[in-house]
Amino acid sequence: MQAIADRDGAEILFEGGSFHLACFIAQQVAEKALKAFLYSKGEQIVTGHSVETLAAWCSEYNPEFERLREEVAPLDGLYIPTRYPNGLPDSIPARVFTRKSAIEALRLTDLVLEKVRNYL
């Protein structure tokens, strides 16, 4: 439920032109959704921030997450540079992450949400 609420927030950021923040929230939404899936399978402690690693873990319960893992792995590249200016060479996140970047990030996030919804 939190992932869905955060996805709505990402849309507001996108519509407001905060594309770098929409990209960051997109990564966070995918992370939260995958963690929710793992908790639903009985996992007690789910740590880490890598969407790729979490999707691989989910594939231990459902092999369909392996294909998803490969597709959504680029979201991991949004975790730090979307927030910190020192994560980018000679620029800031607000200039580097564009509308196009955010559209793709949100598309990938929606794939994760759809997959998790199908199995919860």
pLDDT at 15: 98
Exposed, middle or buried: residue 104 (CB in 10 Å: 0-12, 13-18, 19+)? middle
Cα separation, 15 vs 81, whole angstroms: 21
What the block records as the tokens of 75 is: 């979201």
| CA angle 64–40–26, rounded 5-degree value | 65
Measured CA distances, 60 to 37, 46, 56, 67, 77 (Å): 11, 14, 7, 12, 23
Burial of 21 from C-beta contacts in 10 A (0-12 / 13-18 / 19+): buried
pLDDT on residue 67: 93
pLDDT at res. 73: 96
Stated pTM of the model? 0.95
pLDDT at position 120: 86
Mean pLDDT for each 10-residue chunk of the chain (120 residues)? 97 98 98 98 96 97 94 96 90 96 98 95
**Domain 2-119 class?**
mainly alpha
